[in-house]
């Protein structure tokens, strides 16, 4: 990096408009494809990308894995207890719409709500 | 490499670490998006990039991610934050090189790219492409958070930027 070239830093320049419009347009387009809140019927639990459990949201249950306690109640699913320090998945709360997910990064666990017989669009 | 530069870099690193710890302790800004963080540590990274250049920013970033990851109790988080940090740093560096944008915009793009990097690593680690959906929501937050940290970086630069000599 040449130190003789003095750079001016500003709060706002006209180019920022282009950047913001571009970014927001991209986000709006992707958001359009993502939002379709439909109540899910099933929940899938993945560990390391492998499907380990499939649960029906109609049946209230409590599943105790070695690091997570997952509860199905009133058509929703949530993490009741996680042994990881950040507790992000606990704070995520209840999810019930198809496409919603709880992700626990430290334990590499993903809980995903899916509709019945729905074809997985993203994979 | 003067003593002044070493101290400046060390101070930036210390600030980045402190802000990182603070953010880990505080509850999430948006309860619906618990992964979303303001990324105040990014202020220090951005300032480091502006004042000392890319190589030193890499060092500060790497040390910050590793130390924060070790202390948070979940060392796997190092992977995620390094992935996000690398994307963010490279995008901010390119925009600063172009020298056409204001700092908040640079930082906002950095915020989005941080999310992109983190989600990419998460997709690779968990082998679940479906995580990409989270990225859309995270990115909206990333723009705002990035712009805020950019404004903060701008004012810090205004106050003490002229005193920083290479």
Query: How close is the nearest chain A Cα to the Cα of B128, in Å?
Result: 5
Structural domains of chain B, ranges and CATH numbers in brackets: 3-163 (1.10.1760.20)
Residue of chain B nearest A31, judged by CA positions: B136
Read off φ and ψ for residue B164, nearest 5 degrees.
Answer: -85, 115
- Which residues of chain B neighbour A105 with C-beta distances below 8 Å? 74, 76-77, 80, 122, 125
Coil, helix or strand at residue A7? coil
pLDDT one-digit tens code per residue, B63-87: 999 999 898 878 888 999 999 999 9
H or E segment to which residue A72 belongs = strand A68-73
Read off φ and ψ for residue A79, nearest 5 degrees.
Answer: -95, 120
pLDDT at residue A67 greater than cutoff 90: no
Q: Of chain A residues 71-90, which have a CB less than 8 A from chain B?
A: 84-86, 88-89
| Structure token digits, residue B99 | 């020298």
Residue A37 pLDDT class (50, 70, 90 cuts)? low
Range picked from A38-42, A49-53, B106-110 for highest mean pLDDT: B106-110
Q: Are B126 and A46 in contact (CB under 8 A)?
A: yes
Domain ranges of chain A: 42-114
CATH fold of A42-114: mini-chromosome maintenance (MCM) complex, domain 2 (2.60.320)
């Amino acid at each position: 990096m040449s130190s003789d070239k003095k750079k001016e830093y500003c709060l706002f320049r006209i180019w920022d408009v282009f950047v913001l419009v571009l970014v927001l347009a991209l986000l709006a387009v992707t958001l359009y494809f993502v939002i379709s809140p439909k109540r899910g019927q099933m929940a899938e639990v993945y560990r390391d990308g492998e499907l380990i459990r499939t649960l029906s949201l109609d049946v209230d249950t409590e599943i105790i894995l070695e690091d997570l306690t997952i509860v199905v109640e009133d058509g929703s699913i949530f993490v009741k207890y996680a042994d990881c320090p950040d507790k992000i998945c606990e704070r995520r709360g209840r999810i019930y719409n198809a496409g919603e997910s709880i992700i626990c990064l430290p334990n590499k666990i993903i809980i995903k709500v899916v509709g019945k017989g729905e074809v997985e669009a993203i994979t | 490499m003067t003593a002044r530069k070493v101290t400046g870099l060390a101070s930036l690193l210390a600030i980045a670490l402190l802000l990182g710890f603070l953010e880990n302790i505080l509850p999430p800004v948006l309860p619906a998006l618990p992964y979303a963080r303001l990324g105040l540590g990014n202020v220090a990274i951005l300032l480091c990039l502006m004042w000392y250049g890319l190589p030193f920013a890499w060092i500060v970033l790497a040390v910050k991610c590793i130390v924060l990851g070790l202390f948070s109790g979940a060392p796997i988080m190092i992977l995620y934050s390094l992935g996000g940090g690398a994307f963010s740093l490279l995008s901010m560096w390119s925009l600063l090189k172009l020298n056409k944008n204001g700092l908040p915009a640079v930082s906002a793009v950095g915020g989005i790219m941080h999310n992109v990097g983190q989600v990419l690593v998460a997709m690779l680690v968990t082998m679940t492409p479906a995580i990409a959906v989270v990225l859309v929501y995270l990115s909206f937050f990333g723009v705002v958070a990035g712009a805020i940290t950019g404004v903060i970086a701008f004012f810090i630069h205004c106050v003490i930027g002229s005193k920083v000599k290479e």
